[in-house]
Amino acid sequence: MTDEKQTPGALSGIVVADFGRILAAPYLTMLLADLGAEVIKVERPGAGDDTRGWGPPFAQGQATYFQSVNRNKTSVALDLRSDEGQRYARELVRRADIVVENFRPGTMAKFGLSYAAVQELNPRAVYCSLSAFGGGKGAELPGYDLLVQAAGGLMSITGEGEPTKTGVALVDVLAGLHATVGVLAALRHRDATGEGQLVEVNLLSSLLAGMVNQSTAYALAGVVPAPMGNRHPSIAPYEVFPTADRPLAVAVGSDGQFGTLCRAIGADHLAADPRFTDNTARVEHVEVLAAALGEILATRSAADWEALLTPLGVPCGPVNDMAGAFALADRLGLEPRIPAGNADLPPLVANPITLSRNPVRYTAAPPELGSGTDRVLAWLDENRSPQR
């Protein structure tokens, strides 16, 4: 990767006071750090971010969960319940461009760090607050991803029959991404006007927005989606089929692709069948179609079908495990891990953003708890505001 001394990150010079923990907020602040911002992560002395203990698995003595969202940051141990901790925290937000927190609504106010308090200290600060169900009537509800997946409807459309969560805390990631967009928009406004502002993102609203066609089907047409397993409510064939050895995903998105699929597998009769002549008809008769395709696809291996269909423009591929997914990314030259030689970082999963002028930088491994406390507090003591 490009040396940071040669090419500044797109957000170089931006200071982030990071009071976030678990996943949504740390994901946001890691993205900002990857783009060059100086992220100072405030943690509880002796305990730190809860995810430091969320293992197994562990690697390099740290939980891999914590490592997944905390690279490129400086850890400062501050007791926000103490006068001294609050004094340093106020000095930090006074110097910050961005303040991020995802405590339960009202908690930051107890520490003297509410948006109103920070705005008085630093009117230019962009203050991002993430919550599970918003700061109003949902403020007292507990905020774990699983609960939002359940209450927000995602589990009702996932799996087959029994409500099923996704295999990762997807709602936290969605909220972190939405918050990143909001923060960068507010930062653009701040740079143009000098005015900071409050950015609020909650997990439930992020999930409803992130369910796109499914949530819009309800909002516009009153359709309450049901779980469909690996099928799609509006496209067919668009599901996973058994083959002679392992499952194969087939994602046919057009009538042309369907015709090509049928010709390639020797099933021209399916393309000519009036039940399958267009996508709407195929969705209506998806059970019959799936049975007919499944009988043919079961005769050869997934690799055979992929080798035959992919060059013809029919989207398909085997269902990989994580090892297979990384192998595919490696084979395609996508560099899914942080390349060796980047500040002695372990081979963490790489940032997917590519910038031609300000490439993502990897400057520091996920920090040990409080490893930057002395350096940061010394900086905060320099030219400290006597009024604060």
In single-letter form, the type of residue at position 127 comes to: Y
Cβ-based neighbour number of residue 120 at 10 Å: 12
Please list the residues that pair with 43 across neighbouring strands. 77
Cα separation, 276 vs 367, in Å, equals: 56
How would DSSP label each residue in 330-360?
Answer: HHTT---BPPTTSTT---PBPP----SSS--
Half-sphere exposure of 185 (CA within 13 A, CB side): 10
Of the candidates 172, 255, 321, 374, the residue annotated as catalytic is 172
Question: Contact, 362 vs 340, CB < 8 A?
Answer: no
Question: Contact, 229 vs 160, CB < 8 A?
Answer: yes
- Residue 153 makes CB contacts below 8 A (sequence gap 6+) with 207, 208, 211, 214, 215
In single-letter form, the type of residue at position 349 comes to: V
Clarify whether 172 is annotated catalytic.
Answer: yes
3-state secondary structure of 99: strand
- Residue 122 makes CB contacts below 8 A (sequence gap 6+) with 93, 94, 95, 96, 196
Strand 38-43, strand 15-19: pairing: parallel
Q: What angle do CA 103, 361, 350 make, to 5 degrees?
A: 75
- Please identify every residue annotated as catalytic: 172
